[in-house]
Amino acid sequence: MDFPPRLRFKLEKLKSSWRELFRAQEPSYGTAHRMCPNCRGLIARDAAVCPLCGASTRPARARQAVAAGRILGVIPVPSTATSALVAANIFLFVLTWYLTQSGSSADPTRSPADLEGEILVRLGAKHPLIFAGQWWRLVTAIFLHAGLLHIGFNLWCLLDLGPTVEQLFSTPKFIVTYLATGVAGFLLSLWWSPFGPSVGASGAVLGLIGALIGASFHHGHLGKEFRSQLVRWVIYIFAFGLLFRADNAAHLGGLVVGAGLGYFVPEGEPATRAGDRLWNFLAVLAVVVMAGAFALMALQLNRPLQ
């Protein structure tokens, strides 16, 4: 089956990205090819003129690095939406750390670990208070983390997966997928462990992996090969979750919903104006829901936990 040049480029870029993730020794496809800025065809990286459309392909050096998707072949270049999500996670982590340190200074008799747990609940962790009407915790919990290793692993995955999913599907679909899978993860976690507090972006991260797995079923042998690497990565994450007692229920919920979205939602930009308007509306709605959830959290930040 022959793929259009643009789709072939995207699939090979996904494949090479995950080869780098698992330290594959074979040469990466993306280091030898790039996309023509005019016709979007796959061409040699050092080509001065596109052999498909004849257009000049000499961009500025800085633009070449962004087009390649990584800086120095290692650091992923985040998209705008991914950058905003990363910034929100870092801000909430710094706020948690600051409030914990302030609480320790004010009351030296209290354990910092106990204080951090209480602060995470106040900032919007998944908690039985959801049954009391605090639905917004299903959203705010996605952006909270319980430690440096926790946030470091999740943001590393988000930086690597975010731009890939966003490029394959489009920015509005990426935003909707991230929120929907994150919330789905905590809904399953709430059902599985209704009294256990939980935080983290890993449900949404597994949702992104699930979206790539779902999409891979539409791409024949190339998709099957890529899917095998994704499934291996999922196994590692669940094993890691068992080892460190992470919330694997949230992981599973995000993964399943993400796989469904990746399979049924068409890739790329919407083909019609109505579809474009629908996905833009859903993306704006997702942003409003996230902002509203944090606004409700802020309003109840200093109130007694009930």
The pLDDT assigned to 78 comes to 60
Single-letter code of the amino acid located at 80: T
Is residue 215 over pLDDT 70?
Answer: yes
What integer best gives the mean pLDDT of the chain?
82
Is residue 211 over pLDDT 90?
Answer: yes
The pLDDT assigned to 67 comes to 41
Q: Per residue in 127-144, pLDDT tens? A: 999 999 999 999 999 999
- The token duo for 36 is 């023509």
Confidence of residue 65 (pLDDT cuts 50, 70, 90): very low
Secondary structure class of 76 (helix, strand, coil): strand
Confidence of residue 190 (pLDDT cuts 50, 70, 90): very high
The pLDDT assigned to 8 comes to 59
Domain 78-299 has CATH 1.20.1540.10: yes
Secondary structure class of 301 (helix, strand, coil): coil
Mean pLDDT, range 14-32, rounded to an integer: 49
The pLDDT assigned to 57 comes to 61
Q: Per residue in 244-267, pLDDT tens? A: 889 999 999 999 999 999 999 999
Cβ-count burial of 77 within 10 angstroms (0-12 exposed, 13-18 middle, 19+ buried)?
middle
Q: How far is CA 10 from the centre of its chain?
A: 18
Q: What percent of the chain has pLDDT over 90?
A: 56
The pLDDT assigned to 89 comes to 96
37-41, 227-231, 269-273 — which is least confidently predicted?
Answer: 37-41
Mean pLDDT, range 232-240, rounded to an integer: 92
Of residues 43 and 265, more confidently modeled: 265
Is residue 12 over pLDDT 60?
Answer: yes
CATH 1.20.1540.10: which residues of the chain?
A: 78-299
Is residue 106 over pLDDT 70?
Answer: no
Is residue 84 over pLDDT 90?
Answer: yes
Q: Which residues pair with 198 in a beta bridge?
A: 126
The pLDDT assigned to 36 comes to 67
The pLDDT assigned to 93 comes to 95
Long-range contact pairs involving 214-223 (C-beta distance under 8 Å, separation at least 24): 214/258, 214/259, 214/260, 214/261, 214/262, 214/263, 214/264, 215/168, 215/169, 215/262, 215/263, 215/267, 216/262, 217/263, 218/263, 218/267, 219/3, 219/11, 220/1, 222/3, 222/11, 222/12, 222/15, 223/11
105-109, 143-147, 160-164 — which is least confidently predicted?
Answer: 105-109
The pLDDT assigned to 68 comes to 39
Is residue 214 over pLDDT 90?
Answer: yes
Distance CA 164, CA 14 (A): 7
